Chains A and B, each alone.
Chain A
């Protein structure tokens, strides 16, 4: 802006008065009245077009049929027609009294239409809500098995956490911090009026995906919408378009692990001495060592032990499937030289040779060299790269009477773990037909089938698959030397996953059908009634059958477990919607009234058995009919919601906007407080349409101030009948039937109520080439559900109550820009950033300070004994803060060991550490006292813990605050650069201001499994040769010893990350080239997806999650080639 112009209420008032006065004056002139009709290029009437006499304020707006009547027009004047999204048109009157015009779309700034639920649509410029549309480019670029995976960074206020690279995984989506105390809470997903999840939806079928954020809008979905609503409309045919489209994407997914594991030689170099080190911590006066490990296993049948064998006792038969041939480590003998020569085995000097000699009865007979074979388990457990394919074929067409769209889709994504995959088949058919001038039928049918196997069936945890089973010692033998066949390893859970995948039959299948029939009855041009019926079948069929498989080297499991399950959920939604639009002069009013009846019924059967006489068939009939061999179950759950709702939108000259919604819901889950009423109101002021802004037209092309206030409810997380209490059958006792109390009745529970207030400013500049949106929101959830801890003596640990208040407060900023746009070049950018902070406002009185729930005590540091309560939920605090021990370095050598320091036992990883004593504390104990205390001296290589209260004792209260575990800031940005036929697209997303702690690396470096491999980070552990190391000494089972690898700042990081989510280069073949082959359009593309993070949390598989995090299925780096042909 070049002028620093301010305005205030008086000024606005004056402008309005002046405007009215001018209008009234105009009557006296010798002018004419002009009538006319305005349509778009499709000959559809345009409603709300501003028609004014150029250079004056005389003007009007077209009505519902596109008609206008403008009095007092000078016969020689010019009429200016303007409409957002259309090119402004100037027509000379030339004395005509009827002027019909056709307006053309302004392709440069096509005005967006937002959907508002229950058939409502609104021009973006007229909406008073926070409704964000997901750029379709997000859904199109890259390869996704469901649309949730494409949402990272797409919408301000929407945090998408991709914590698993499993192709079938649906990321966690949280809007504006979530309304649950733990920061969770996902939006309601509605696809063409049907509530469902985002999983298994084909992104290609989506025409329009929007996120409704403010309660002024979401109140129309009342009871279930307090975490926002994701509205999806599928593709439908368009009038005048007839085309066929084929898309193909083929991608390669590359494993991207945060760990680098030691090879067998390095493993033995660290593991064998670790047993000795932890057996020799201090020496008694008689010279014997005291520690906590038993080095007897160094010569046992262990991965690091030398008790393994290659040949059976006869000396010639290679061993297989014996406990002593799982691992390759042996003492070197000449007869094993062929293993080195022919099979790549290796030889090294025993790193604990001197020790073994020292304890041996016959030191001269102790062999000096080890022989072993190096194996990296990942070579057997992963398919790297794995491949993904995605094919879509669609046909669409439409004319005045009917429209049609049909699409077929197929996605097959291999997972990284061997024998894992995800497959999706989708069919969509949408048809509309105008049966009578007053009656339109809209029919839809969709079908999605998914089949998947996430991991080999021996596995239950993705975290384990991507960490623990890769730490299987590299001395393991996964291949038989003599014939190259595979071996199991130590057991079927951790061992070679490529050994016997055919032994586990699994069928996972879901079939989801949606059938929708809507009749729209047009009573008049502006009054209609819409009746819809929607059936959604969601079915699952699951079978599992284990053939005889090797459980461990010496045991074949012949249980032959077989199970089958069929489950079905039928959702029925019926609604009736009455809509009325009218325009009286400058007043535009749209009213909708409706009612909805929702019934969901889930039921299924499950049967399992074992002990079939053969492992060839999974037929349950073949399973043994002996007692306790078979298990059968059936289950049924029914729920209903009955709703009444209404909405009124009003605007005056598109300048002053008002919207009101109201919903009344009754939900069968609740008992005594079943009904809830949820109102929403919002208003907007398009101040750029005010005449005082006309001076700035060339700079600020559009400006709107909006505010909204509304109420939502929530009953998620409550079982269908939970509040009624239950008595359920449990396990038999001595063959007798038992009943136990399943849950305590809780009939008075109420709806959670969430009220959201927000205020926003939408601005566009320079003919809409640049735009910004600012939104501030404050969301307060009261009558919050939370389990309230009861005293243990009550016999019930907790009960769900309407428990206090919780606030989300934040700001969302969105920017978009098109700095360059000409015939050869196009450059567009979009960015958003959101700030959110959650606060526990109040909790029910429980007699504790701040009505604290949960939590723990730490030293305040004020004096030696002052303790403060932290963590848990406390009034006025942000939930989710990370407290850990603070590592102030590693004791480098003896001189740094403090005199007076006691590290108390600490329990973690299911074990308890030994007490540790400083120099003089230790020296002052008698030998018997040392033994009785089970303590150890503090030694070089141990961690120097921060003593918060300075009492010379490290105990469980010496924790320091690291920070919050949920990002305060998050967002994304993307840019597209197009040059002629070539286009480059990049998308990034990020989050910052939060902390994360690695759970898995300390488990690995602390040797907590006790025999498993370590990452090469072990080189950074303290040794006498490496006193300035980053990590404490590597010893056996740290959780049983000194606890140097407990939760500490050694493994905490700022989680701040920037993800390079997508880079895509595409090329459209010139039309001249392809038209000869009847091809309208042909695009080729190459896309890189999930290319990596810029973050400090490098040892974590993903920084997207905060707090203490285990390993996870890492997101693969994917390269995809795409082909898109339209005929």
Chain B
């Protein structure tokens, strides 16, 4: 009994974690805060494929569905074929983005105005500028996918609320969300102030110029796309233009001479990349490996452009990769032969009769690591300088001006020495033709850069017209991306599980299943 006499019971049972921080001893220092904002960038990377490709591009009508040319079943066909409905929503749980928003909310809640903030003003201002910018990006992504979504700006579970009834959150209206996005991006720019106006930037971390690009994209969207009670404001377009010109006039950025060099794994910090998601061997690799081939599905089966049987691992993939996604043959065929982007983006292959069988994506092949394995570690650009020019073209077209100079600047770089100023230049035309030309230029420029779906939703057949998604010319094969009776498909349905977990939620208009209720914005 003596053993126990000296034990003070409670003290002996108070044991804190030995290898990491308990919640009681975090948010005490600047390095902790910086590491958490690094973690927010990690979030950006982990949701990058969903956000960028599945939400930003897959539905754009340029993807093969069913079986790939190499005989493999392709992934995410429901999304790529726009066969989504209330039972087959394509995405679930708001694409998982609220987990990332949670992290942003946590930083803002714990750091803004705290002692760490006061004692490290400049450094924490930048961290908050990053956090507000990234949160605006998440809400902008959700807005373009779902319209009005639950607006959550605080981590309530840390306030001691763990009952689900306290956490139920109905969908806000589109206008409320758009206003919130605009206010967040403004806060981001305010926090950045003039800190990053000069000097080198790290293009895989969120910067002021990333926020400027996002602001331009937000205002351009707001100027062109209406949704429910969210209508374009008079100054949306000029704001978009101003943000774009700020970046255009920033001498730290510009076009590279050679298109292929932009994506070189050896030159990832080039002046064309404004913001990219970092991939690195040992940290994380991208999904580009799902767009290539496995040797057994390629070698000895297909022929090259000259009719010679492919008998080697041409792209040196070394057995890493599959073909789970493939761009349509029609899209590849739409490229001009002189366009260097075709060779930089795709490898094409044929059957024994010389017909095009298919293509694989070779824009983001990564590198061979020291163990001799292929790793898809190319950084994936999120904003690059070409986007500034093509968005300016779009602004110009909306203003009734001449977008041709911007288009031609892009095309000149793409064709390189083969550019014939007479035959290859674009000349200003009517609104719709201009929009279609901008779309085609963006298509060829931004393959697998997460733009296509947003482009066919934002580019229109008339100033107050319909999105090009409904236009037969938009897919290079005479079919529209969406049928005219599918306007509800401009947004995504919410999956049943998400709806079931929150009785305040209603389905996206047009996607009602059974007894579900729909939003009426």
Contact = CB atoms under 8 A, between A and B. Distances in A.
Interface of A: 292-294, 296-297, 300-302, 307, 323-324, 326, 361, 551-552, 554-555, 558-559, 574, 576, 595, 597, 610-611, 624, 626-629, 634-640, 642, 666-668, 674, 720-721, 724-742, 744-746, 788-797, 799, 801, 844-848, 855-857, 865, 867, 904-905, 907, 911-912, 934, 955-957, 1010, 1037, 1040
B20 A789 contact: no
Given A792-B502, A956-B87, A1040-B73, A294 B22 contact: no
A792 B373 contact: no
A995 B278 CA distance: 49
B446 interface: no
B295 A729 contact: no
A741 B319 CA distance: 36
Contact of B98 (A640, A666, A789, A792): A792
B45 A733 contact: yes
B301 A307 contact: yes
A792 B501 contact: yes
Contact of B18 (A637, A734, A957): A637
Contacts of B24: 724-725, 745
B163 to A, nearest CB: 7
- Which of A292, A293, A361, A793: most chain B CB closer than 10 A? A793
Interface in B72-96: 73, 77-78, 81, 83, 87-88, 93-94
A554 B295 CA distance: 9
Contacts of A794: 98, 102, 152, 156-157, 167, 169
B370 interface: yes
A724 B77 contact: no
Contacts of B15: 638-640, 668, 720-721
Contact of B282 (A627, A737, A856, A911): A627
Interface string B154-168: 011110001111011
Contacts of B296: 301-302, 323, 326
B394 interface: no
Contact of B3 (A574, A731, A795, A865): A574
Interface of B: 1, 3-4, 7, 9-10, 12-24, 26, 32, 35-36, 38-39, 41-42, 45, 65-67, 69, 71, 73, 77-78, 81, 83, 87-88, 93-94, 98-103, 105-106, 149-150, 152, 155-158, 162-165, 167-169, 202, 204-205, 278, 280-284, 295-296, 299-301, 318-319, 351, 353, 370-373, 496, 498, 500-503, 505, 514-515
Contacts of A727: 20-23, 26, 32, 36
Contacts of B505: 791
A552 B319 contact: yes
Contact of B514 (A300, A307, A323, A865): A865
Contacts of A728: 20-21
Contacts of B12: 597, 640, 642
B106 A558 contact: no
Contacts of B35: 729, 736-739
Given A733-B39, A734-B283, A745-B158, 9 more contacts: A324-B300, A640-B13, A667-B13, A674-B13, A725-B22, A792-B94, A855-B500, A955-B87, A957-B514
A923 to B, nearest CB: 22
A296 B69 CA distance: 9
A721 B22 contact: yes
A297 B71 contact: yes
Pairs A-B, 6 closest by C-beta atoms: A795-B102, A628-B282, A725-B23, A791-B502, A793-B150, A636-B18
Contact of A294 (B42, B71, B300): B71
B1 A791 contact: no
Nearest to A326: B296
A844 B71 contact: no
A857 B86 CA distance: 13
B21 A726 contact: yes
Contacts of A793: 94, 98, 149-150, 152, 167, 169, 502
17 contacts: A294-B71, A301-B300, A307-B301, A639-B15, A640-B13, A721-B15, A726-B21, A729-B20, A731-B284, A732-B283, A742-B20, A791-B501, A791-B505, A845-B163, A845-B165, A848-B500, A912-B83
B67 to A, nearest CB: 5
Given A301-B300, A737-B38, A794-B152, A323 B295 contact: yes
Contact of A733 (B21, B38, B372, B496): B38
Contacts of B13: 640, 642, 666-668, 674
Contacts of B300: 300-301, 307, 323-324
Contacts of B514: 857, 865, 867, 957
Contacts of B88: 905, 907, 912
B319 A555 contact: yes
A635 B502 CA distance: 38
Given A642-B9, A733-B41, A934 B81 contact: yes
Contact of A795 (B67, B101, B168, B373): B101
A904 B86 CA distance: 12
